[in-house]
Amino acid sequence: TGYNIAIVGATGAVGGRMIKMLEETSLPIKSVKLLASSRSAGKVLRFKDKDLQVQEAKPSAFEGIDLALFSAGGGVSKQLAPEAVKRGAVVIDNTSAFRMDPAVPLVVPEVNPADLYQHHGLIANPNCSTIQMVVALEPLRKKFGLKKVIVTTMQAVSGAGNRAIQELNDETAAILAGKDYTPQVLPVSGDQKHYQIAFNPLAQIDVFEENGYTHEEWKMIHETKKIMANEDLQVTATCVRVPVAVAHSESVWFELEKDGATAAKLQELLAQAPGVVLEDDPAHQVFPQAVNAAGKKETFVGRVRADEEQKNAFHLYCVSDNLLKGAAWNSVQIAEYLDQMDLVRVPQK
């Protein structure tokens, strides 16, 4: 008994964490199939005590699969996710391919698990920087309502995949050794110019839109509205890549709808909130840090304080592992919820 599960993009930065999260889950698992591009076919990866051969991701690979976790880029999802669903698999897609499709639930289990009831075989996992922000804001929204959010992110290079981690490492080593290095990946592998990330934050994540925002910023704005089911929520973002391997950090300013909140009250709500660890003790220099959050499933929140100039407005600082809660763990957590809600099946049309 148990599910037959496929991971698409198993050789990638997120895929590797998906394997780890499936090793740790209580989800009943019958088999795991690792899929990637034809370049990786035959490569051996470990799942628990077994060596598994990576296979090429193609439509027939989804025969007999109950659950498929996708993280191989939007193009692969667009092409193969419908093929997987057609063959009876429920797809949890970590790319942006289907997130804004009104027929596809966009789910963070701490925020909108009931949206899973609406699925037609496909569920979207939000962008990593969006997920941790809504985990931190949801307990505050529930109690006081949320009017406006202004966020600035400091995002790890692993959000851009394994090649970007390699680039940060190689470039840092080259610069420290006094050697030349030509950037080839960051800020965006497909864009025209590439810039140094070592010792140098870059205010571009994903491509620029016509309005001057990057697509990463667009995602934070529109995904947040969809997850919180509030088109009137005012959200704006500036997304910055920093020379950190793993874990995104975010400075969040927010305005609440109702009166009566204090920093102490918000800290109390955060201390009890699911998926949140409050690390907020200025007297003892306690605040969230990427090095501590890397490898953990929770969102760490601190620096909660009132805006002294504006009523009902506050700041917080949150940090979470972009590859875990931002991607692989949120996907596996969705799978656990689907299992508990008896939703691991593709509804008949």
Alpha helices (H) in 231-275, listed in sequence order: 263-272
171 contacts 197 by C-beta, under 8 angstroms: yes
Q: Site map for ligand A2P, 68-107, x if CB under 6 A?
A: ----xx--x-------------------------------
Distance CA 92, CA 167 (A): 29
Comparison of 96 and 320: residue with beta carbon closer to ligand 11C: 96
301: Cβ–Cβ under 8 A, 6 or more apart, which residues? Answer: 136, 270, 276, 277, 278, 279, 280, 288, 316, 317, 318
Q: Which of residues 148-187 bind ligand 11C (CB under 6 A)?
A: 155, 159-160
User: CB under 5 to 8 A by kind: which of ligand A2P, ligand 11C, none does 40 bind?
Assistant: ligand A2P
Bridge pairing between strands 50-53 and 146-155: unpaired
CA nearest neighbour of 297 among 2, 25, 48, 7:
25
Q: Assess 293 for contact with ligand 11C (CB under 6 A).
A: no
* Binding segment (CB under 6 A) for ligand 11C, from list 53-61, 88-96, 275-283, 294-302: 88-96
Among ligand 11C, ligand A2P, none, the one that 96 touches (CB under a kind-dependent 5 to 8 A) is ligand 11C
**Binding flag, residue 9, ligand A2P (CB under 6 A):** yes
Sole binder of ligand 11C in the list 110, 171, 216, 298 (CB under 6 A): 216
Told to check if 34 binds ligand A2P by CB under 6 A, we report: no
The dihedral through the CA atoms of 120, 330, 166, 35 has a sign that is negative
Task: Tell me whether residue 9 or residue 126 sits nearer to ligand A2P (CB atom).
Answer: 9
- In the bound complex, which residue of the shown chain has the CB atom lying closest to ligand A2P? 12
Interaction partner, residue 296 (ligand A2P, ligand 11C, none; CB < 5-8 Å by kind): none
Token pair for residue 339?
């299992």
Nearest Cα to Cα of residue 99 among 67, 126, 69 = 126
Residue numbers annotated as active site: 128, 248
Q: In this structure, what token pair is assigned to residue 127?
A: 């962008």
- For 43, counting Cβ atoms within 10 Å of its Cβ (0-12 exposed, 13-18 middle, 19+ buried), the class is middle
Q: Which residues bind ligand A2P (CB under 6 A)?
A: 9-15, 36-37, 39-40, 57, 72-73, 76, 161-163
Q: Which residues bind ligand 11C (CB under 6 A)?
A: 94-96, 127-129, 155, 159-160, 205, 216, 219, 322
